[in-house]
């Protein structure tokens, strides 16, 4: 369970380590020479990963075939149907906050780069639908959102397969009396973004998603508060909302504006943007803090749709971008010697993939508008430079690093074999039909051998600040995969596969 620690987040903003531009970004303007990696293969695997994270009744098309049905009575204790959705990482809890963010980013990957995915587009849509279907269930009752299934403390006291779960599947919710604007607005964002994925292929489904997104956002805005307040004992320290709920309200409004083009949401952004942190200087984008993503998303309305009233968001987005580019006067980003963007030791790769996605997406908007970014001191940053920085990060992830290791399971000759993941580390139901008990499974956690089930496409937390990776199963900070690591990577890989004519 990759956890974001607020003290470290504050500390990392004070750290800057500059490396020569060539080491991080390269000097090229465009793609010269052969591709460093098979981005098409990595794309296919990055989407396949989501099938290994599925909860519920698995479909006949299930490709990670060592998985079986699980959580078929989820929600029963609260007399609601909460079967389905995704496990966020290597445990068996369904955490609604990171699940919704993962769906927003997976949907954004498809919205932005789905046209390049060719044969993988249908698989990507299926991955989005699996999550969106669950979010529809979780928001079926007005002014109520079911935000977690499973007692996290008791779940983490066991090491068992999802198929064998016998820990309490306690249901947690936010409502008017126990608000959760952060998780509610993120859920609205996920529903709105998902509606765009299906606008052409399944317009009836898209309309249903969008209608629900509007209702959920209205609830988030009307009943303000952080879900970490009322549910602290249950969601912390796993997925506390350290950044508050203002970023999610702006993010949710941005997605609803993009999905509806309604002046209602444009007005909301104009009236509330500054209060909700539009000009915050933070540059850590992930499941907790959405400010940077919201700035990039809203800037599109100015750059592409030419919504003049949102011109300031170009400046807000540029500030974030300048903080990411090595060598600029406002660079705030730390990199390892090997060139990896480094935010936190705990699940650092999530920030690598989310940042790479934002860089590629903003480069797309800038190129369309024939614009550049001007950082302090007159430094001009082109879309090509942003793409080079992003490509360097993806290449590192796929194996161009000091360890020569791909951090995506199943990609390349050398990849993590002992990932921190219950289902992957324990014998499959096919191999071991008998139940494996709660404490019995811990033998696998501390065993030295490779996981018996290869969770193809899973991207783990990644190496440490010294570019080292021990590949130990009990090291959750570096060896645990998560949906929110993979979701933005899908879009980045689609872009790279297309740009090198691999699709």
Residues labelled catalytic: 420
Give the Cα separation of 483 and 346 in Å (integer).
Answer: 15
Cβ within 8 Å of residue 455, ≥6 positions away: 49, 52, 64, 409, 410, 419, 421, 423, 424, 481
- Residue 159, judged by CB atoms within 10 A of its CB (0-12, 13-18, 19+), counts as buried
Pairing of strands 380-381, 373-374: antiparallel
Measured CA distances, 289 to 285, 293, 360 (Å): 6, 9, 19
Burial-class residue 326 by CB neighbours within 10 Å (0-12, 13-18, 19+): buried
φ and ψ at 86, to 5 degrees? -130, 145
Pairing of strands 144-149, 171-175: antiparallel
Cα separation, 191 vs 197, in Å, equals 10
DSSP 262-322: -HHHHHHHHHHTTTTTTT------SSS--HHHHHHHHHHHHHTS--GGGTHHHHHHHHHHH
Looking at the DSSP assignment, which residues form a beta bridge with residue 149? Answer: 94, 171
φ, ψ dihedrals at 41, nearest 5°: -65, -45
Q: How far is CA 111 from CA 69, 106, 383, 429, in A?
A: 30, 9, 19, 36
Q: How far apart are the first and last CA of the chain?
A: 34
Residue 87 corresponds to which tokens in the numbers above?
């496990």
Q: Which DSSP string corresponds to 158-194?
A: ----GGG--S---EEEEESSS--HHHHHHHHHHHHHH
């Amino acid at each position: 369970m990759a956890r974001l620690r607020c003290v470290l987040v504050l500390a990392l903003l004070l750290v800057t380590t500059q490396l020569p531009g060539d080491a991080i970004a390269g000097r090229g303007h465009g793609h010269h020479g052969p591709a460093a990696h098979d981005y098409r293969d990595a794309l296919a695997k990055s989407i396949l990963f989501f099938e290994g994270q599925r909860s519920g009744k698995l479909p006949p098309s299930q490709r990670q075939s060592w998985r079986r049905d699980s959580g078929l009575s989820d929600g029963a204790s609260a007399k609601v149907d909460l079967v389905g959705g995704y496990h966020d990482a290597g445990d068996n809890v369904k955490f609604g906050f990171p699940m919704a963010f993962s769906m927003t980013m997976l949907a954004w990957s498809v919205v932005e780069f789905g046209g390049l995915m060719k044969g993988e587009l249908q698989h990507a849509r299926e991955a989005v639908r699996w999550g969106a279907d669950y979010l529809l269930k979780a928001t079926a009752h007005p002014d109520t959102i079911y935000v977690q299934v499973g007692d996290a403390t008791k779940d983490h006291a066991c090491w068992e397969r999802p198929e064998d779960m016998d820990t309490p599947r306690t249901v947690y919710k936010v409502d008017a009396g126990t608000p959760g604007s952060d998780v509610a607005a993120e859920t609205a964002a996920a529903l709105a973004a998902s509606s765009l994925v299906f606008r052409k292929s399944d317009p009836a489904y898209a309309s249903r998603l969008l209608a629900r997104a509007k209702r959920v956002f209205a609830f988030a805005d009307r009943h303000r508060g952080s879900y970490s307040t009322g549910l602290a004992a249950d969601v912390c320290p796993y997925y506390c909302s350290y950044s508050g709920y203002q970023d999610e309200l702006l993010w949710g409004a941005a997605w609803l504006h993009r999905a509806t083009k309604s002046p209602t949401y444009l007005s909301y952004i104009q009236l509330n943007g500054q209060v909700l942190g539009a000009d915050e200087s933070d540059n850590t984008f992930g499941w907790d803090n959405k400010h940077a993503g919201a700035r990039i998303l809203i800037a599109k309305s100015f750059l592409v749709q030419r919504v003049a009233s949102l011109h300031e968001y170009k400046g807000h987005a540029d500030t974030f971008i300048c903080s990411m580019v090595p060598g600029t006067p406002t660079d705030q980003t730390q990199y390892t010697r090997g060139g990896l963007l480094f935010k936190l030791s705990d699940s650092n790769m999530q920030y690598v993939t989310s940042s790479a996605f934002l860089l590629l997406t903003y480069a797309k908007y800038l190129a369309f508008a024939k614009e550049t970014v001007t950082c302090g001191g007159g430094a001009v940053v082109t879309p090509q430079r942003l793409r080079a920085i992003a490509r360097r990060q993806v290449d590192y992830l796929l194996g161009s690093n000091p360890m020569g290791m791909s951090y995506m399971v199943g990609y390349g000759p050398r990849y993590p074999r002992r990932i921190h993941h219950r289902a992957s580390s324990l014998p499959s139901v096919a191999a071991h039909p008998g139940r494996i008990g709660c404490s019995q499974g811990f033998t696998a956690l501390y065993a030295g051998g490779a996981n018996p089930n290869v969770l193809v496409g899973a991207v783990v937390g990644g190496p440490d600040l010294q570019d080292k990776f021990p590949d130990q199963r009990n090291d959750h900070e570096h060896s645990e995969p998560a949906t929110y690591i993979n979701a933005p990577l899908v879009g980045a890989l689609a872009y790279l596969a297309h740009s090198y004519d691999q699709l």
